Structure 1
Amino acid sequence: MSSDHRGSKIILIVLFLGTIWTPLLLSVFQIGIQSESNFAFMERRAAQAYPSTPWSINELSAYPGTFERAFNDHFPLRKYGIEYYGRLCVQVLGTAPRSQLLVGKDGHCFLGSHVDDRSYLAALTPIQRNEEKLPYEVAQIESYGEFLESLPVPAVMVSIPTSHVLDFEHLPDFIQRQADPDALAVPQCVKVMQNTPESIRNRFLLCPIERIRKENARYPLYAEKNFHWHPGRYTWLMASSIAEHFGVEQYEEPRSDVFQYESTNSDLLQFASFNMINRNTEVYRPQVWAELGIGDHKLEEAYPNLPPLAHTRYTVNHNRDRCVLVVGESFTPMLNTDLARYFGEVISVNYNVARFEPEARKWLDGVMRDVQPDYVVFLHHQFFHIFEDFMTDYRATQGTGPAVEQLAVEAESSGVRN
């Protein structure tokens, strides 16, 4: 055997042994191990724990599979491997590592779905018309109207058009081809408004689509790789529209002089597996809120009888009076500071997740009894919605009967789960 051939075999053996032993050594010395919090954020689940010693036949049979899943989740440098794979897909191949993410045109990215099932419901639902569902949605709005009538203060439901509607031209072609032209001209939530009795529409529904489109033509309301809105032109527009609806203030167009342009982090990074950057995002100048006297405070310090509740935000403007309670989902907290332009106190709660907290009902009871908001806003992206749990919790605090039966299809069946 020649020395060259022997040398090549030695190299292969060393590479093989290195490949086998390197992960074990990295694990022993805890090098390149992803933290539990980072794992949960990036993969939206907890890492599989290593199984305990099996003591039964069933435990023994399940042991290999459980151990393999745990080893994969705790594999050293796993984070970096997934990150580089995501970069390869998005930045080089122009595709997405998971179907929750859509890689669009001109540097844009969109939410495709909330689960990796290639349904793309989060992208398709806003740009398609569902005529069969329309009567049920209108009936649901009417039942919501009955609940809103029972509230002791004025209330409104707000629908937020998503980037799939406002930045349609940047969606990938295969999504654009599935769009309904009628839904692009008149989104489903606007169609529902048009078919809702005028007495309910004028009092309880708000989606100023023409204002939104006008501002979006002036400057894109969504950051190029975001699903959620951010505090900026869009939130100001909606806050001013809400204040106008309640007769608190006349509508004012957002002014450009309070904004600056920055690179920001995408809120879709967990689906891309790396930190995507939004270019030239229009954001507020840092001093804007201090100049207006607007700032966040702890709600339980202002109202000691309230139990702490996660997923809430409390914003105060001492130059204004009146209090507004905003109940919604993940879009909700970004609206606080702009609403504080017109209201002295803004309390928002992401009830989509807060409703599972054991103190949620007690918190709501305390807010309605001790804070006594002057107005209530129910906010949801894409369509008009009030969580059944909120109505149930509110009625329980008032000692009244069960909530009205929900007629419309639940948010998760539409692919909008947040």
Structure 2
Amino acid sequence: MTNASEYAKKVQEKIHQRSNHEPEFLQAIDEFLPTIIPFLENHPEYQEHNILSLITEPERVIQFRVPWMDDNGNWQVNRGYRIQFNSALGPYKGGLRFHPSVNLSVLKFLAFEQIFKNALTGLPIGGGKGGSDFDPKGKSDAEIMHFCQSFMTELAKYIGPNQDIPAGDIGVGKREIGYLFGTYKRIKQYDAGVLTGKPLEFWGSQGRKEATGYGAVYFAKHLLADLSETLENKKAIVSGSGNVAIYCIEKLYQLGAKPVTCSDSNGFIYDKAGIDLELLKEIKEVRRERLTEYVKVRPNAQYIEGSVWNFDVEAELAFPCATQNEINLDSAKRLVANGIRVVAEGANMPSSLEAADCFVEAGVYYCPGKAANAGGVAVSALEMSQNSQRLQWETEEVDERLDGIMKHIYQNCRDTAIEHGAKDNLMLGANIAGFARVAEAMLIQGLV
């Protein structure tokens, strides 16, 4: 039997040969495999049964055509996808993303990360992801409804409350979930548990909209508690201006920190006095406008084109909450130079592999997305529980459970890193802890 390092390298090389046209997926693989070598060295049974080759191959990849008609009567078509990656721990669980950047590589990376994120919550859910290259921006409500109805007409064949439970992601909020649910109900009859992130009017969960952003802050809170510190009076850099960023900012304020930035695809706001949360919500959630509107109301704030991560501002906390690979190596070096001590990822893989390595080597507490942003899927699983019971819990109960789950995830990552001789390397701790739980279930279930 080859040693664990050689085994992991052989699997990695084979994946590169078979998926050389899928850069995002390969990046996720390259980040993951080297970190679990210490675990494989102590558990040769996983090498003996070639678990790495099984766990890195999706159980099912579904691609379909989505035809729809625009407001001018023109026929349009987009691609729809669902990646059902791993069901060892339970039904597939993961969001739907509607964005022009969506392709198989992006969704395979997201679904692969989702396996271990879901495992870290301790809840009985497997990993999946889906979506379409459809762009909701600039579309009318009628066009979005028509697209969602066509998309779900095909997707409904492959999902169900005990099989695969999608949720929202970029470009898929409560409006889109509502249209998707209505179509599923018409095809399959009523079943509240088939989608999560639903509006409260029909069996959504209190706290779901806030969960990913809140969860990232809770993760940082528990990390700082280990250092006998709190978030009080700490300055934070936040990227993004969607649900994750908005509610990350909200929870930062609630716990005494001061977020001074947020961003969109063109640029970012720097507000030295602290981001005006109510104004941000008004612009993004009510008016659905660009962040350039912010400085019209707050003239002392700045709107700067480009990436917030290329901007020099001293801060202790960073919460990347926009999209994958928004922080490259140069940006990571700049953050280290500006005094960042904690990077808690609200987005999925927002740091490149080189950036993540830079944070770890510099002694920054790097909290990878599969751990720090697990709050969203955690509350989605709580929504599934509420749907099964035909109950709707109060906000306080959901928030308390979310805080408890994020504490469990942090402590699991911390303790696993220490156990494998890598104190403070939360990326290694998250990867090993998630892998160990899924791999054990796969081994128990046999060659399936």
Shorter-chain TM-score: what band? 0.3 to 0.5
Question: Of the two, which has the highest radius of gyration?
Answer: 1
